A and B are shown apart, each in its own frame.
Chain A
């Protein structure tokens, strides 16, 4: 794994308000990183600084062997609500985007066409962007962000404005893109983050409060529990009386906190088996990303 970008103490102040506060992280090549946090936590500002739109107040962005002024040519950026010149067609816009990002004139039209077909706008090449629906705009936004084959793609809430079908389609596109490039995207939808991420960054009030791989973060915050669902209520009663651990019952299920009780699956199975309990289901449950989010990112 080679490092693509190192961010050190990135800070943005507006007046005396620190919108982004000494944020540090690294991006490895060909990975995807989810920037998670509630609204107003500094996600958009962080992405804008990386995209070269907003100058940072302090801190450094160190791209792998790229001079500062060339950074924008290796970046693709998709804002949350991309705005296009309504009087340009999808192809005209994407071609312009490609050429401004340094794609050769001869290749630009071809690359633009290929990219638009890839995002599913092959039938709308010559349609004016002013007539596009929200989903089409998001695809066009994606097309202009990847048409020049950037090394790093920054996406601000790429799917949150879309309906479930559009979201599914864009997520699939992103997974395809991810194999060839590095993605940093912000989201507040945790299912998306769970689906495509090598690294999680949790922002709260401009501060990076947690980071790591999905497994890392999970194991740090996880409170694994073992859940047993019984066939009958009498069985549940019998179990609570016999079990040497603290259990919390709810309907036909009981939950046992693995860490506090210091118990493992084998011991529980041994008990259930030995006493011939009638069990419908037994599972090990880890904390969902949403629970972690509530703990980490929300005060």
Chain B
């Protein structure tokens, strides 16, 4: 177990000294605040800038606080996930490529511990960022829109977190398997592009990790059917476990590809 805590410490130092523990939360918080603020002030700003033809009375849709969570989710599902993929695509492949992994791999290392240490710290950074971002958005929603039930918000956050853990696990497993470029490409496909594919042709199935984010917003709808959500969560957790095992064994198999 001593080896595991050493690796955890190493990962934490890496993420704090390359400022990831700072800039990723700030980025997610900024996006979290921007969503309610722009939605609230956009009508006024448009009016004051005065680009509208004289007499045109534009009817802006009346947003409720719950809708803002959904539109924030839309932001996170694109730019947030892009940040996660790009920030962590080289977590393992980068260490192999630049040769820093060599002095780890010559030691009696458990590759399970090696992968899990990265998985835990990366999830810590990313989940912390997502939570702070959503909480910041919630604060602004309470001020600028309406009161949203706390249990609904927490259920939303908890459900969305499972999807985020899935994304992190995909990125790390691919980084263990492929060189950084390939890992990034495939991770963007598996998390961003497959969402679209899943929403297009996935109407035939209702249980899928790629639907967990949408299902998270169901908590804001009083009469939504939650049965698909639970099955999707179970499937996602299974995917995560399989990907952790896959990532650990790929890290081990590819250890000989480290630059000596």
Chain A positions within 8 Å of B, measured between CB atoms, are: 44, 48, 51-55, 69-70, 72-73, 75, 77, 79-85, 87-88, 92, 96-97, 99-102, 105, 141, 144, 156
One of B17, B100, B108 near A83 (C-beta < 8 A): B100
Chain B positions within 8 Å of A, measured between CB atoms, are: 2-3, 6-7, 9-10, 13-14, 17-18, 98-100, 102-109, 255-256, 258-260
A83–B99 alpha-carbon span in the complex (Å)? 6
A83–B258 alpha-carbon span in the complex (Å)? 11
A18–B256 alpha-carbon span in the complex (Å)? 17
Q: Is the CB of A83 within 8 A of B103?
A: yes
Q: Which residues of B contact A75 (CB under 8 A)?
A: 106
Q: A54-B256, A87-B17 are in contact. Are A81 and B104 (CB under 8 A)?
A: no
A72–B109 alpha-carbon span in the complex (Å)? 9
Expressed in whole angstroms, the minimum distance between the Cβ of A153 and any Cβ of chain B is 11
Q: Is the CB of B260 within 8 A of A53?
A: yes
A87–B18 alpha-carbon span in the complex (Å)? 8
A100–B110 alpha-carbon span in the complex (Å)? 10
Q: Which residues of B contact A85 (CB under 8 A)?
A: 10, 14, 100
Q: Which residues of A contact B256 (CB under 8 A)?
A: 48, 53-55
Q: Is the CB of B106 within 8 A of A51?
A: yes
A128–B17 alpha-carbon span in the complex (Å)? 11
20 chain-A/chain-B pairs, Cβ below 8 angstroms? A48-B260, A53-B106, A53-B260, A69-B108, A72-B107, A79-B99, A81-B99, A82-B99, A83-B100, A83-B102, A87-B18, A88-B10, A88-B13, A96-B10, A97-B107, A99-B3, A100-B7, A102-B108, A105-B2, A141-B103
Q: Which residues of B contact A156 (CB under 8 A)?
A: 260
Q: Which residues of A contact B259 (CB under 8 A)?
A: 83
A54–B258 alpha-carbon span in the complex (Å)? 9
Expressed in whole angstroms, the minimum distance between the Cβ of A37 and any Cβ of chain B is 16
One of B2, B3, B108 near A70 (C-beta < 8 A): B108
A82–B99 alpha-carbon span in the complex (Å)? 8
Q: Which residues of A contact B18 (CB under 8 A)?
A: 87
Q: A83-B102, A85-B100, A88-B13 are in contact. Are A99 and B108 (CB under 8 A)?
A: no
Chain B at the A interface: SS class: helix
- Residue among B100, B105, B259, B260 with most chain A CB within 10 A: B260
Q: Is the CB of B2 within 8 A of A83?
A: no
Expressed in whole angstroms, the minimum distance between the Cβ of B89 and any Cβ of chain A is 18
One of B99, B104, B107 near A73 (C-beta < 8 A): B107
One of B99, B103, B106 near A52 (C-beta < 8 A): B106
Q: Which residue of B lies closest to A154 (CB)?
A: B106
Expressed in whole angstroms, the minimum distance between the Cβ of A71 and any Cβ of chain B is 8
Expressed in whole angstroms, the minimum distance between the Cβ of B19 and any Cβ of chain A is 10
A156–B103 alpha-carbon span in the complex (Å)? 13
Q: A48-B260, A99-B2 are in contact. Are A87 and B106 (CB under 8 A)?
A: no
Q: Which residues of A contact B17 (CB under 8 A)?
A: 87
Q: Is the CB of A84 within 8 A of B100?
A: yes
Q: Is the CB of B255 within 8 A of A53?
A: yes
Q: Which residue of B lies closest to A128 (CB)?
A: B17
Q: Which residues of B contact A102 (CB under 8 A)?
A: 108
A73–B108 alpha-carbon span in the complex (Å)? 6
- Residue among A70, A85, A144 with most chain B CB within 10 A: A85
Q: Is the CB of A92 within 8 A of B13?
A: yes
Expressed in whole angstroms, the minimum distance between the Cβ of A130 and any Cβ of chain B is 10
